[in-house]
Amino acid sequence: MKIPSLKLLAWGIAFWAITTTAQAQAPQRTTFSGLNLDSAFTSVAARYVVTIVPPTSAKPQEKNKTHTWYFYRQPQRIALLKGNVDEIWYRDEQQRISFERVFHDDERVVDYSTGELKTLGVTVNWAELSTFVHPEDLRLLKFNSKHGLGDTTLVHLNGVLGQERLAIDWLPALQLPKRITRQDKSGFKVRMELMESAAVAPNTWPHPGAKSPVICTWMLQILGT
């Protein structure tokens, strides 16, 4: 199933997971090897501000929209909290992946098993879920520059993949983008910026799937109650 990644980023079932890797116009791989793509993903909690920018040809009433998203990455679970909807992916010991959407306003949970995802034609890449970008896409982007040392290293990449222009400021230490901007041919743009990250989420951040029976059980087990 091929879904335009910009629309998927704003509204899709799980924007960063259901697209196939885009084919670059210039498919040479970057010669820069310091992206830290081959190491195991560390657990992290991150807060992003997402800005949706309509093209200059849009109607005057179509203004920029800004959202706050919370991202939680663990070895067997990845969650993206987008206001009143949580999107949560699970991976079991057999590497089977399932998906859950929690609709807080409706107090409703929709589950997709591994088999159901396959029936729907959904191809999931765990590395893409874990980083917002498919590793092959990162390797196809042009390396521009690198700043900082150690945990502060920031790598600047950009390029054209498929029908969209992509610019990424990549944090190898976190294995996450500091900034990522996608722009399609019409000029429609989605920009994400990392505002805060931590190994463990602050208590003031929302909990993934707070109204989900699956998550509530998981939380009780963690708390030992």
Report CA dihedral (48, 49, 55, 58) to the nearest 10 degrees: 130
Q: Higher model confidence: residue 184 or residue 197? A: 197
- pLDDT > 50? residue 44: yes
The reported pLDDT for the residue numbered 59 is: 72
Outline where the chain has alpha helix (H).
Answer: 5-11, 114-119, 126-131, 135-140, 213-223
N-to-C CA span, the chain = 42
- pLDDT > 50? residue 146: yes
- pLDDT > 70? residue 221: no
pLDDT tens digits, 50-69: 999 888 776 776 788 899 99
Q: What are phi and psi of 12, to 5 degrees?
A: -75, 175
pLDDT tens digits, 5-37: 333 333 343 444 433 334 334 445 555 678 998
pLDDT tens digits, 75-115: 999 999 998 899 999 999 999 999 999 998 888 899 999 99
Task: Report the C-alpha gap between 117 and 120 in whole angstroms.
Answer: 5
pTM confidence score: 0.80
Q: Which residue has the tokens 């994400």?
A: 192
Mean pLDDT, the chain, integer? 81
The reported pLDDT for the residue numbered 58 is: 66
The reported pLDDT for the residue numbered 30 is: 56
